[in-house]
Amino acid sequence: MAIVDVTVHIDETIDRDRRAKIANTVRAHKGVTAVSHDDKKPHLMLIKFNPDAVTSTELLQLVLDQGVHAELVGL
């Protein structure tokens, strides 16, 4: 099983609790192995996942479904 990562940039400035809620939603999705976010870089979220189980586009949609504007970084 290969694990890859993707960085998501969230456009809005949201508080730590909201970021944690978004991270928990993403973390619960099939194929996601880890989600991290740092208070020093509040607009960025790093998601580690199994690309055989979920795509980066699907992960971005999970974030967008939380009512924020976001995009994948570096793709």
Report the phi/psi class of residue 74: left, alpha or beta, with left for phi > 0 and alpha for psi in -120 to 50: left
Count structural domains, the chain.
Answer: 1
Tens-binned pLDDT, residue by residue, of the chain (75 aa)? 799 999 999 999 999 999 999 999 999 999 999 999 999 999 999 999 999 999 999 999 999 999 999 999 976
Q: What whole-number distance in Å separates Cα of residue 40 and Cα of residue 25?
A: 21
Structural domain range at position 49: 4-73
What is the predicted pLDDT for the residue at 74?
76
What is the predicted pLDDT for the residue at 24?
97
- What CATH number has the domain bearing residue 64? 3.30.70.100
Q: Is the dihedral of CA 15, 41, 62, 34 positive or negative?
A: negative
What is the predicted pLDDT for the residue at 1?
75
What is the predicted pLDDT for the residue at 56?
96
- Tokens standing for residue 61: 């949609």
Q: What whole-number distance in Å separates Cα of residue 52 and Cα of residue 48?
A: 12
pTM of the model as a whole: 0.93
